[in-house]
Structures are given as structure tokens and as C-alpha cells.
């Protein structure tokens, strides 16, 4: 196969496999009036969630980086969108989850248990999925889960930890 054809197939593989980016309807730009509490949204969604199909939007459980794409797993299903993992994490509250591996972010309330396997670990989620925990992040994940189970309100840790470097 010629190199040009290989590049075309590589760039269009998600489209060929059936993944589609859908543009959702924009929100009305109507201002919210004081005292009109019916229009105030109780939980704001991060901007990248607008790229997830409406039938797959729900409570965020997991973000997984797949090359230039982001797999968004919610309690309503999974969707692959064209988005950067680091940018998505920056849009989330620091106390809502933790980066457990350079390719994974997990919501703290989705974690069922952490199993240690040597220096590395694995998290089992409430939806039955398993997520690897890198050895570099094992101590931080253990600490955050211990604080969560103790019921304390910990100081938000730097969930991105991208500046640490190191291979995982």
C-alpha cells in the first residue's frame, strides 16, 4: 500500500469504523434573571460533554485517552470524541476525580476498590470496568481513597501531575 494511502486510512480510521462527531444544539443566550431559580442549572457540565451524544450523557465515570481521541464513559454508556485528555481534566473540578495513569482519569465516586499488584495497581469501577494505576501514582491514589473513605474533605491535590514527568 502506498504511503499516502496509509496516511489516509490512519487519519480516517475512526470515521471508517463508524465513529461520528455530532454537533449538539447550542444553548440559548437568554440571560438568567434574578430569582428565576428554575433556569439555574444545579450542576454545570464541562464543555467537552457537549461533544458526547445526548443519549450517552450522564454521570461521568472515566476518561481514557486514545491517541488524539478521548473515550468518555458515563453511567449512560461510552463515546469517543476528538478531544485532549489534559484539556478535559482541566475543565473538571479537582475534587471530583484523579488521574490514575497518564491515559486515565477516574471519578472518585465511581471507584469500588483498589487492588495492589506488586508496585502497580488496578481500580475496579462500579460499572465493572478495570483501570490500571501506574506505580508513580499509586501512593497518591491510595491516599485520596483513604481520605475519601475516612469521610474527610481533603485539600484538592494536583490531579493532573503532568509536570512530574517520568515514564509510567
Using pLDDT thresholds of 50, 70 and 90, give the confidence band for residue 43: low
pLDDT (tens digit, 9 = 90+) per residue, 60-104?
A: 999 999 999 999 999 999 999 999 999 999 999 988 999 999 999
For residue 134, count other CB atoms closer than 10 A to its CB.
19
Around 43, how many Cα atoms within 13 Å sit in the side-chain half-sphere? Answer: 7
For the chain, the average pLDDT equals 80
Residues 6+ apart with CB under 8 A from 95: 108, 154, 156
pTM of the model: 0.65
Q: What is the largest CA-CA distance in the chain?
A: 64
Of 10-14, 68-72, 108-112, 119-123, the least confident: 10-14
CA distance 105 to 64: 7
Between 66 and 16, where is the model more confident?
66
pLDDT at position 2, please? 85
Output the pLDDT for position 162.
42
- How far apart CA 112 and CA 22 sit, in angstroms, is 32
As a whole-number percent, the residues of the chain with pLDDT over 90 amount to 54
pLDDT of 153 reads: 52
Q: Which residue has the higher pLDDT, 19 or 27?
A: 19
% of the chain beyond a pLDDT of 70: 75
Amino acid at each position: 500500500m502506498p504511503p499516502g494511502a496509509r496516511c489516509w486510512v490512519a487519519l480516517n480510521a475512526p470515521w471508517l469504523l463508524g465513529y461520528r462527531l455530532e454537533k449538539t444544539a447550542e444553548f440559548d443566550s437568554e440571560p438568567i434573571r434574578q430569582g428565576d431559580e428554575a433556569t439555574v442549572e444545579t450542576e454545570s457540565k464541562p464543555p467537552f460533554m457537549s461533544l458526547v451524544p445526548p443519549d450517552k450523557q450522564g454521570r461521568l465515570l472515566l476518561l481514557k485517552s486514545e491517541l488524539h481521541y478521548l473515550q468518555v464513559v458515563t453511567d449512560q454508556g461510552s463515546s469517543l470524541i476528538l478531544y485532549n485528555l489534559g484539556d478535559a481534566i482541566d475543565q473538571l473540578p479537582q475534587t471530583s476525580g484523579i488521574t490514575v495513569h497518564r491515559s486515565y482519569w477516574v471519578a472518585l465516586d465511581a471507584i469500588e476498590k483498589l487492588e495492589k499488584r506488586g508496585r502497580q495497581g488496578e481500580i475496579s469501577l462500579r460499572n465493572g470496568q478495570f483501570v490500571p494505576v501506574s506505580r508513580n501514582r499509586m501512593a497518591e491514589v491510595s491516599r485520596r481513597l483513604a481520605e475519601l473513605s475516612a469521610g474527610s474533605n481533603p485539600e484538592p491535590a494536583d490531579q493532573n501531575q503532568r509536570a512530574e514527568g517520568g515514564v509510567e
